[in-house]
Structure 1
Amino acid sequence: MLGQVFDPKQELLIGEQCRPHWAQSGTIVFVTFRTFDSIPSKVLERWEEEKREWLEFRNIRGDIHWSKAVELLSPADRATFAKHFNRMREELLDNSLGQCVLRNQTLASVVADSLLHFDGERYRMGDFVIMPNHVHLLCAFGSAESMQKQFNSWLHFTAVQINKRLGTSGKFWQSEPFDHLVRSPEQYEYLRDYIRDNPKKARLREGEFFYRRYEAG
């Protein structure tokens, strides 16, 4: 495989931003970046309320933000919570809301080139797909500390380059990506298939997305 799967017995780094980000040296991580306009603000506000209500129904205090409160759930409930709300996010992203400028293959190539630039040096890049308003990828980092730093580098560099080509300025990406440490070889293969099939699921035609499949050397 691209790297190793999550090992709960090994050292784990948890970075705190708006929500926790888990990182582990050499472990494969599934990452989603989305453009700033890909999900309307009213939808995000509704999801925040739904998450709070979902947790309160399970007797989790409403004065704790959901990103912290979810840690108080049992492992089974935590998995159910993640599956439910992650599915909602992915289904909405596949509706291709927003300007969807990454449908332009020149701009998609800016992102692809950035993802591959330090492949084999700072990280090992696996499968990825660049959709009109979001990106899915699998990657493994040599150290837990380097993961968030590289996320920030990708987002900053590609935003500057894309804005320059569009003659625009301002925020391009949602600042905090979604990331998930891969738990098993089966989940790794499932995510590879998910990335491959995402354009078909979103009913995209050839030339409206950029797909790269990892082949072990």
Structure 2
Amino acid sequence: MVTYRQADALPKEVMERLRRECDEQGENAEVRLRKGVEEWLDAGHGSCVLNRPECASLVVDAWKHFDGERYRLHAWMVMPNHVHLIVQMLGGYALSDAVESWKRYTATRINRLLGRKGAFWLEDYWDRYVWDETHYQNVVAYVHAESGEGWIGAEGGGLGLSSAAAWELRSAERGRERGTPMPLWSEALKLNSLLATQGPWGHEC
């Protein structure tokens, strides 16, 4: 799972304060720091321009561009000031190169769209390896869970800024099928073809 955020979403002084507070508490400082960062971002700090459908769609379109060629895009969520995605790299392509490409392209396009200049994304990103089927199911649920928050993307209609709608559709199809359902890890490979036929808001276009 990969997470990256807008440059103004988490000021340096806030990050330093969160890290200092977590370090002072001793054990599991990194876990507490990650939780503190997530809570700060989810509170909607910064310009939150990704809440605008025209900006969020540029981010999703960039992810979909090489889906199935350089990587498999399994699930995603565009929050107002940060993004989450689950991606599986293919053919020796590096995750760092993909993230850099996504960020460079979308920063240029969004800045041009908004008539602004300067850094759009924070330079770094956070990634977490998915270990097995259970972990995979948990991270997909985490990514999609945030799409239910009422303040996210009012113009996008709640689920509109994530791949959750496509997952729900596929889950409904699985419920009508007989026999043992396929594991979600395998199911995600089928999902790619479904996502390819949908627009950035999870509706057929």
Structure 2 gaps of 5+ residues are 168-187, 191-205
Aligned-residue offset at 1:45: 1.6
Q: TM-score, normalised by structure 1?
A: 0.69
Equivalent pairs counted in the alignment come to: 165
Residues 144, 43 of structure 1: alpha-carbon distance in 2 compared, 3 angstrom cutoff: farther
Residue in structure 2 matched with residue 216 of structure 1 by the alignment? 189
CA contact (8 A) 2:2 2:125 kept: yes
Quote the RMSD (CA, aligned, Å): 2.0
Alignment of 1:57-206 (within 5 A): 57=26, 80-142=28-90, 146-201=94-149, 203-204=151-152, 206=154
Q: Which has the higher helix share?
A: 2
Q: Does 1:36 align with 2:7?
A: yes
- Code of the residue aligned with 1:216 in structure 2: it is L
Higher RCO (CA-CA < 8 Å; seq separation 6+): 1
CA distance in structure 2 between the partners assigned to 1:202 and 1:39 by the alignment: 22
- Code of the residue aligned with 2:152 in structure 1: it is L
- Code of the residue aligned with 1:86 in structure 2: it is R
Secondary structure of the structure 2 residue equivalent to 1:189: helix
Aligned-residue offset at 1:204: 2.6
Q: Which has the higher strand share?
A: 1
Aligned-residue offset at 1:210: 1.1
Q: Does 1:47 align with 2:18?
A: yes
> What percentage of residue pairs aligned between the two structures are identical?
32
Residue in structure 2 matched with residue 5 of structure 1 by the alignment? none
CA distance in structure 1 between the partners assigned to 2:135 and 2:155 by the alignment: 28
Residues 168, 205 of structure 1: alpha-carbon distance in 2 compared, 3 angstrom cutoff: closer
CA contact (8 A) 2:6 2:121 kept: yes
